[in-house]
Amino acid sequence: MNDVFGIVIYLFSTVFLSLIITPFVRWFAFKIGATDKPDARRINKTVMPTIGGLAIFLSFAISAVFIFDNYIPKTYILPILLAATVIIVTGIIDDTKELSPKGKLLGITIAACIAYFLADIRMESFSLPFIGNVELGILSFPATIIWILALTNAVNLIDGLDGLASGVSLIALGTMGIIANFFIPSSNFHITLTIFILIASIVGFFPYNFHPAKIFLGDTGALFLGFMIAIMSLQDLKNVTIVSLVTPLIILGVPITDTVFAIIRRYINKQPIASADKMHLHHRLLSLGFTHRGAVLTIYGLAMLFSFTALLLTYTSTFGGILLVILLLLGIELFVELIGLVGPNKQFLLNLFGYLFGNKKKNDSENDEQK
């Protein structure tokens, strides 16, 4: 009981630490020129400091190493912090000098390699229904690197509105923490605790980042949060079932959906995959008349829906899980078509429903006339 009380006090201390550090990081951002200036692609109307993720990282690192030193082994946390430092440096360079996509990719890949070789964070095998266990063998390394790259970039892509990426990350990490604590018997307590330390670090930063924001996450923060979510999701995926493999993807359903349909949209329109546009999920909601805060809260709601689905997966049978995923995918497709995420006139499912039910309605009308 004393341990639980002590941990709660330490987590509140981490929140307070983040609240204190963030204003100093904001001052530092102006000092080094890490700012976002208004332009055609930006939502902000004034010059805004970025590198807000540095405040989250510093709070997380100080808390994990010093405040929770009796709970989290140094051999576990130090390699993770080394990899995260590479991400932070990559983000700061990008927020001040603007790195090319290849430069950012290189930084994330180096960090992922550190996580794989030094922190022993890797995907080694998975099991499929009716097939059994599949050992990845030499494919373990590329599978792990691709996983980290994909999830890191997915979170980075949704960082377009005040509090959006930080809020979605809070929801995702909270869900991961609940699943790790209550539904994964083999999960080590220090892994779960690390997730909640990261959550506390974001909570302290969040009041400065929610609309109207005083500081942006920047690529420093979006890459860091995406990277941490990616490696924390791998902590219990060394040997995974298909459900436990899909669960982190569902938890991160909002950024992954946005990323996947951005790739599809650019491919259809013959644009480079890495090109920027104003057709992301938050852009589409704004264009439909949502306020800044309304768009953010709507996406929070979607993130919670994905997280609730992920929690349901832990209870369902294999068949129930497959059915749940299929229904979720159909719902995503309908939502994407309704808001025009891929583009106008790209509404396969809506057109199919219109054809099926439209024809039925037409036939019923013709029958009535004949009578």
The residues facing 360 across adjacent strands are none
Cα–Cα distance for residue pair 54/89, rounded to 1 Å: 9
Rounded Cα gap, residues 262 and 348, in angstroms: 17
Residue 161: both structure tokens together = 């509105």
The secondary structure of 14-49 as a DSSP string is HHHHHHHHHHHHHHHHHHHT-EE---TT---SS-EE
Tell me if 219 is assigned to a ligand binding site.
yes
DSSP states of 86-122 = HHHHHHHHHHHH---HHHHHHHHHHHHHHHHHTS---
Spatial distance between the Cα atoms of 168 and 174, rounded to a whole number of angstroms? 10
Q: Residue 134: which H helix or E strand, with range?
A: strand 132-135
Q: Kind of pairing, strands 125-128 and 132-135? A: antiparallel
Please tell me the distance from the alpha carbon of residue 307 to that of residue 147, in angstroms, as a whole number: 19
Q: Is residue 322 a contact partner of residue 241, using CB atoms and an 8 Å limit?
A: no
Alpha-carbon distance of 109 to 89, in angstroms, equals 13
Q: Is 156 annotated as a binding residue?
A: yes
Instruction: Kindly report the number of other CB atoms within 10 A of residue 163's CB atom.
Output: 26
Q: Which of 21, 14, 56 is nearest to 221 (CA)?
A: 56
Residue pair 311/175 in contact (Cβ under 8 Å)? The answer is yes
Q: Which residues contact 144 (CB under 8 A, 6 or more apart)?
A: 112, 115, 116, 121, 122, 123, 234
SS3 at position 132: strand
Work out the burial of residue 65: count CB atoms within 10 Å of its CB; fewer than 13 is exposed, 13-18 middle, 19 or more buried: middle
Q: What span, in angstroms and rounded, lies between the C-alpha atoms of 44 and 38?
A: 6
- Binding-site residue set for Mg(2+): 156, 219
- Could you list the residues known to form a binding site, using ranges: 156, 219
